[in-house]
Structure 1
Amino acid sequence: MLCKNCNTDLQNTQKYCFECGAKVINNRLTLKNIFEDINNQFLNYDNKFIKTFLFLFTKPEEVILSFINGTRKKYINVIQYFAISLTLVGFQIFLMNNFFNDAIGLDEIYGDAFSKFEHQENNPFSPSNFDYAQINNYQSLIYILTVPFSAIATWIAYFITGYRKFNFTEHVVLNLYYSAQIIIISAVFTIIFLCFGVSFMLITSIITLLTFAYFFYVLKRIFNTKFLDTLGVFLLVMLIILAFFLALIILVAIIGIIIAIKKG
Structure 2
Amino acid sequence: MKTCIQCGEPSNSNYCSNCGQKQNIRRLTLASFFSDFFSRIYGLDGAFPNTIIGLTKNPAKVAQDYIRGIRGKYVGPVGYYFLIFTIFFLLVQLSDYTLNDYLPKTENFAESIVDNNNLKEGQNAREIALAVKQRIFNNLQYVHVFLVPILAFWCGVWFKKSNYNFIENTVLSFFIHAQGTVVNLNGFVIFIFTGLKNNTIINLIIILYYAWSMSLFYTGKAKLSSLCKGLIAYLFTYISFLLFVAVIVLISLIVRGRVS
Shorter-chain TM-score: what band?
0.7 to 0.9
Q: Which residue of 2 aligns with 1:47?
A: 46
The 8 Å contact of residues 108 and 126 in structure 2, kept in 1 or not, is answered as no
The aligned residue for residue 179 of structure 1 is 177
Specify the alignment match of 2:241 in structure 1: 245
The total of aligned residue pairs comes to: 250
User: What pairs up with 1:1-264 in 2 under 5 angstroms?
Assistant: 12-13=12-13, 15=15, 17=17, 22=20, 24-27=22-25, 30-31=28-29, 32-42=31-41, 47-94=46-93, 98=97, 106=105, 119=119, 123-124=123-124, 126=126, 130=130, 136-159=137-160, 162-163=161-162, 165-198=163-196, 200=197, 203-223=198-218, 224-225=220-221, 227-245=223-241, 247-249=243-245, 251-252=247-248, 255-256=251-252, 259-260=255-256, 263=259
Name the amino acid aligned to 2:39.
Answer: N
Shift in Å at residue 52 of structure 1?
1.1
Residue identity matched to 1:193: F
8 Å Cα contact 1:65-1:222 kept in structure 2: yes
Is the CA contact 2:212–2:230 (under 8 Å) kept in the aligned structure 1? no
Tell me if the contact between 2:124 and 2:253 (Cα under 8 Å) persists in the aligned partners: no
CA distance in 2, matches of 1:215, 1:14: 44
Structure 1 unaligned residues grouped into runs of 5+ = none
Secondary structure of the 2:159 match is helix
Cα deviation 1:83-119 (Å, max 9, x = unaligned) = 1111123224435674786666739977xx89x9773
TM-superposed CA distance for 1:53, in Å, is 0.8
Q: Taking structure 1 as reference, are residues 102 and 210 closer, same or farther at Cα in structure 2, changes over 3 Å only?
A: closer
Superimposed CA distance per residue, residues 214-249 of structure 1 (whole angstroms, 9 cap, x where no aligned partner) = 112211222204503312421441353255235414
User: Aligned in 2, Cα 1:238/1:135: closer, same or farther, shift over 3 Å?
Assistant: closer
Q: Is the 8 A contact 1:48 1:75 kept in 2?
A: yes
- For the residues of structure 1 that align with 2:177 and 2:99, how far apart are their CA atoms? 24
Displacement of 1:257: 6.0
RMSD, aligned CA: 4.0
Instruction: Find the aligned partners of 2:98 and 2:182 in 1 and give their Cα distance.
Output: 20
Identify unmatched segments of 5+ residues in structure 2.
none
**How many Å separate the matches in 1 of 2:191 and 2:87?**
15
Runs of 4+ in 1 over 6 A off after TM superposition: 107-110
Identity among equivalent pairs (%): 21
- For residue 218 of structure 1, what is the amino acid of its counterpart? S
Q: Which amino acid is 1:227 matched to?
A: K
Deviation at 1:144, TM superposition (A): 2.3
* Letter of the structure 2 residue corresponding to residue 66 of structure 1: D
Q: Give me the whole-angstrom Cα distance separating, in 2, the residues matched to 1:259 and 1:143.
A: 27
Separation in 1 of the partners of 2:235 and 2:101? 34
Distance 1:261 1:108 in 2: 18
Give the TM-score of the pair, scaled to structure 1: 0.73
Aligned partners of 1:155 and 1:171 also within 8 Å? yes
Alpha-carbon distance between aligned partners in 2 of 1:196 and 1:133, rounded to the nearest angstrom: 25
- AA in 1 matched with 2:173: N
* In structure 1, distance between residues paired with 2:259 and 2:199: 38
